[in-house]
């Protein structure tokens, strides 16, 4: 039952001026898992993902993916290596249609545009996006539709590891459940490993195999959802007081 280590983050640090966003963070993500990454605001969750995916260059430490050192490589190279992500602040392709946006993702692995478009169609259908809305422009779709398209666009690049950055932020409870089902499906059927940054506890505790807790740029603790939920350190980090 030992799964291969997909991603290894080794003593990663990143500061912005006077603020230390990441302070010697180390963690591992194994193949096939869904790892939840939680922590109060400012804990460094998004900075971590940005460092792994090449948007920031870490000040020190290493990022090793499938045994290869990818520290500081630019985002498009990271995507080719097999890491994809979705966006906390949505980044739609406003003037492209849904199918065009996802095709742009599929073109990473498939040179032929027609075949890429077919793949894009398959991905969109897999995550349950209504076919009738394929031609709608990015500027005209709803928030939950954006999230689905964002997911599809990322998955179309056929990643081995996918980071979801607060994917259910701003969604209504039943929409959260829709995303939860889709995410589980992606993990199981497409064999994509997931790192899920989240604030919405219900969602992340539900889908994660393991949880990693960050606080003020440091790794606080990690374990199963049940373990983490009971951990007094975690409660204190979120509430600022020791539990009674």
Partner 1 sequence: MTQVNSRNIFSIVLPSLIVVLAGATIPFLVGFNQYYVLLALQSVIMASIALAWNIIGGYAGQLDLASFAYIGLGGILATMLMIEHNITPWLGMFLGAGVSAALAFIIGFPLFRFGIKGVWYALSTAALVVILHEASIMILGPFDYYIPFVEGWYYIRFRTWENLYYFSLAVLAFIISLNLYISRSKLGYYLKAIREDEVAAEAVGINVRKYKLLALVIYASILGFIGYLYIVSQRTFSYNTFSGPQSVYVAIIGIVGGLGSVSGVFSAALILKIVEEYLRGYLGGVLPGLHLLLFGTLLIVVGILRPEGLSSLTDTLTRKIKVKVLRWYT
Closer Cβ to partner 1, 163 or 203, answer by number:
163
Q: Which residues bind partner 1 (CB under 8 A)?
A: 53, 55, 74-76, 79-80, 84-85, 87, 91-96, 100-101, 103-105, 107-108, 111, 113-114, 116, 138, 153-154, 156-157
Closer Cβ to partner 1, 150 or 231, answer by number:
150
Closer Cβ to partner 1, 154 or 213, answer by number:
154
CB 145, min distance to partner 1, A = 16
CB 230, min distance to partner 1, A = 36
CB 54, min distance to partner 1, A = 8
CB 195, min distance to partner 1, A = 14
Q: Mapped to the 3 state alphabet, what secondary structure does the chain carry?
A: CCCCEEEEEEEEEEEECCEEEEEEEEEEEECCCEEEEECCCCCCHHHHHHHHCCCCCCCEEEEEECCEECCCCCHHHHHHHCEEECCCCCCCCCCCEHHHHHHHHHCCCCCCHHHHHHHHHHHHHHCCCCHHHCCCEHHHCCHHHHHHHHHHHHHCCCCCEEEEECCCCCCCHHHHHHHHHHHHHHHHHCCCEEEEECCCHHHHHHHCCEEEEEECCEEEEEECHHHHHHCHHHHHHHHCCCCC
CB 241, min distance to partner 1, A = 38
Closer Cβ to partner 1, 103 or 187, answer by number:
103
């Amino acid at each position: 039952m030992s799964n291969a280590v997909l991603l290894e983050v080794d003593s990663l640090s990143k500061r912005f001026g006077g603020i230390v966003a990441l302070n010697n963070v180390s963690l591992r993500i194994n193949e096939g898992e869904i790892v939840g990454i939680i922590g109060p605001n400012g804990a460094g969750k998004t900075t971590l993902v940005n460092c792994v995916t090449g948007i920031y260059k870490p000040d020190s430490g290493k990022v090793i993916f499938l045994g290869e050192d990818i520290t500081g490589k630019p985002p498009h190279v990271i995507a080719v290596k097999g890491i994809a992500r979705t966006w906390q602040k949505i980044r739609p392709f406003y003037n492209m249609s849904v199918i065009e946006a996802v095709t742009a993702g599929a073109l990473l692995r498939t040179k032929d545009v027609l075949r890429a478009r077919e793949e894009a169609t398959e991905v969109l259908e897999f995550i349950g996006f209504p076919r009738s809305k394929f031609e709608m422009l990015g500027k005209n779709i709803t928030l939950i539709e954006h999230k689905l398209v964002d997911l599809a666009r990322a998955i179309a690049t056929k990643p081995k590891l996918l980071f979801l950055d607060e994917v259910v932020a701003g969604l209504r409870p039943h929409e959260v459940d829709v995303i939860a089902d889709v995410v589980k499906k992606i993990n199981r059927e497409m064999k994509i490993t997931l790192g899920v940054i989240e604030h919405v506890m219900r969602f992340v505790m539900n889908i994660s195999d393991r949880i990693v807790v960050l606080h003020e740029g440091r790794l606080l603790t990690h374990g199963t959802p049940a373990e983490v939920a009971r951990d007094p350190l975690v409660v204190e980090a979120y509430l600022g007081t020791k539990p009674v």
